[in-house]
Amino acid sequence: MNKIINQLAAVIIIPFILFLHGVTSASPSNQTIELGTATKGGGFELFGKTLTTVVNSLESPVKLKPIHTKGSKQNLKFLAKSKIVVGLVEGNAARQALEGIGRKKFDLKVLSVMYPNPGMFVVRADSSYKTIEDLKGKPIAFGTKASGLRILVNDVLNGLGLKPDKDFQQIILNKASEGPKLVLEKKAEALWGAGIGWPGFVKVANSTVGARFIPPTESQINKILKKHPHLTRMTIPAGTYKGQDKDIDSIGLWSLILISPTVSEATAYQLVKAIHQGESMMASKLKQGGFTTIKNTLSNVDMKLLHPGVIKYYREQKLIQ
């Protein structure tokens, strides 16, 4: 009788424990992992929904479920507290966390890059604003409280001797979707944002009034990079936004998909495999999704930051030794 009870326990209790253990289990079979994105109307929400569609359409034992958060800063907190194990994080916020700049160093790993985040302002095309100096003293929407984009703008403006809360009438948003609406209704003169195909920029550019973009000038870029050399020159290709007939040069960092080191190698392996098997589909569904590639990950991420499961997959594909 005892032998039968022990056998039943092995069949019923052990799988249940493994189920509770979730993504840290050695077996990635039929797991659904919550993906921390950001507020509605922002680039991370759009990217997260698209990535989920792509990954979940493939024959992978690991699926994604996007959840709304307040953005990069909250995703980092949730990752640290294991409330989520995968999250989207803007490059500057990721850098501060991974390197322990101004905070405790976070023990996190990289699953993949997302896309480059060149920052700039957008104004109505019928406005008179042409430069960052023109915006001084004006009401400007600088993003949500927990958005990593605010870290980027702080660096950009700091490099020019400016501060959002002192040299502008700073507006902090509750949701990313509020930003373009404020600009179009003339309640804000400009909106700060970043990325390729960023939804806030798309909404203003596609409006009846159209958009004008204001990045740092070449001399300003040089000045900013001298003070903040961790930033990188980036280009928004012509045609990214309606009415944008020329490349726009700016600066920023790559946004990342971060993953907890507690996630098993097997699970991370299956996730990165699905992401990169879906590269062409991701690119076809979302312009910025075309940057989420193995090539860009290897070019922009230090190998020591990659999750062991990612390294295993890359080695199997003979991309690294």
What's the CATH number where 300 sits?
3.40.190.10
**Same structural domain, 131 and 224:** yes
**Same structural domain, 137 and 247:** yes
**Same structural domain, 128 and 190:** yes
- Region 190-213: mean pLDDT is 97
Supply the pLDDT for residue 28.
64
pLDDT in tens, 145-193: 989 999 999 999 999 999 999 999 999 999 999 999 999 999 999 999 9
Alpha helices in 134-288 (DSSP H): 149-158, 164-167, 178-184, 199-205, 218-227, 265-277, 279-285
What is the distance between the alpha carbons of residues 201 and 208, in angstroms, rounded to a whole number? Answer: 13
| Residue at token pair 């958009």 | 211
Report residue 8's pLDDT band, with 50, 70 and 90 as the boundaries: very low
- Region 291-301: mean pLDDT is 97
Residue 25 lies in a domain: no
* pLDDT of 22 above 70: no
Q: Is 38 helix (H, G, I), strand (E, B) or coil?
A: coil
- The residue range of the domain holding 71 is 30-115+255-316
What is the distance between the alpha carbons of residues 76 and 234, in angstroms, rounded to a whole number? Answer: 25
pTM: 0.86
Residue 18 lies in a domain: no
Residue 13 lies in a domain: no
